[in-house]
Amino acid sequence: MIRILLLFLSFSVFAQDANKSVAQVLAKMNKVRDYRVEAQIKSDIPFIKMMPTKATIFFKQPEKFRMLAKGIAILPKKGFTDLTVLLKNRAAYNALFTGFEVIDGVKTESITLLPTDDSGEIVLAKIWVDPTLDLILKSQITSRSNGTVLSTYLYGAEKAFGLPSELNITVDVKKFKIPKGVVVDINRTAVAPVNTRKTGQIHLSLTNYLINQGVEDKNFKE
């Protein structure tokens, strides 16, 4: 009986610590009402080769997002804004501390987010948090339609807002959806040799942030 009680108390402490870490990360994210940022996107997808692309990304609370690219660009929302939307819906998951992991010399807290809806789009999510700066250094989201998307984040001048300067996304090739127009844009794409790799890589370099300057709704109209 005592052992069961101790296990229950340990679980409660870990859950409490995880919720505290998530709350601190959210507090930083909530400083951002909107932003505009310039992006340089490089993709390395096994069955298609794309030239580097420049894009402008717009975001506005609660979850408006649009990317305007010069050419064809690949950017899964699961690795960009969907994590923020998930974290803000506190009723949609239970947060559980699952250990520590050193990432680039930083001892991070590993937190698993268990969805409360078994039939929802997101099956499982996990974040690795720098507890000193309250920043997410890595995330992993597994969804029914897109498989597993793994993202790593590097921060620069905008780390006070929780906004990265670099983002590296690893996608599940089998479930990754190629944007319309990629195979017909012969000036910017080419079919790559047969490749057995199961994952693809997308790298974003983000510069010239304009934060909380007011992004008009017209920027999100197709």
Q: Is 48 within 8 Å of 192 (Cβ atoms)?
A: yes
Separation CA 47–CA 209 (nearest Å): 32
Mean pLDDT by 10-residue block, N- to C-terminus, for the chain (222 residues)?
Answer: 42 64 94 95 80 90 87 64 83 93 96 90 93 96 87 96 94 70 43 64 95 94 80
Neighbours of 189 (CB within 10 A): 19
Q: Which of 35, 29, 74, 34 is nearest to 55 (CA)?
A: 74
Neighbours of 32 (CB within 10 A): 18
pLDDT at position 190: 47
Give the residue carrying structure tokens 């390395």: 44
Q: Is 201 within 8 Å of 84 (Cβ atoms)?
A: no
CATH 2.50.20 fits 2-213, yes or no: yes
pLDDT at position 85: 82
> What does the domain layout of the chain look like in residue ranges?
2-213
DSSP state of 213: S
pLDDT at position 210: 97
pLDDT at position 17: 84
pLDDT at position 102: 97
CA distance from start to end of the chain: 61
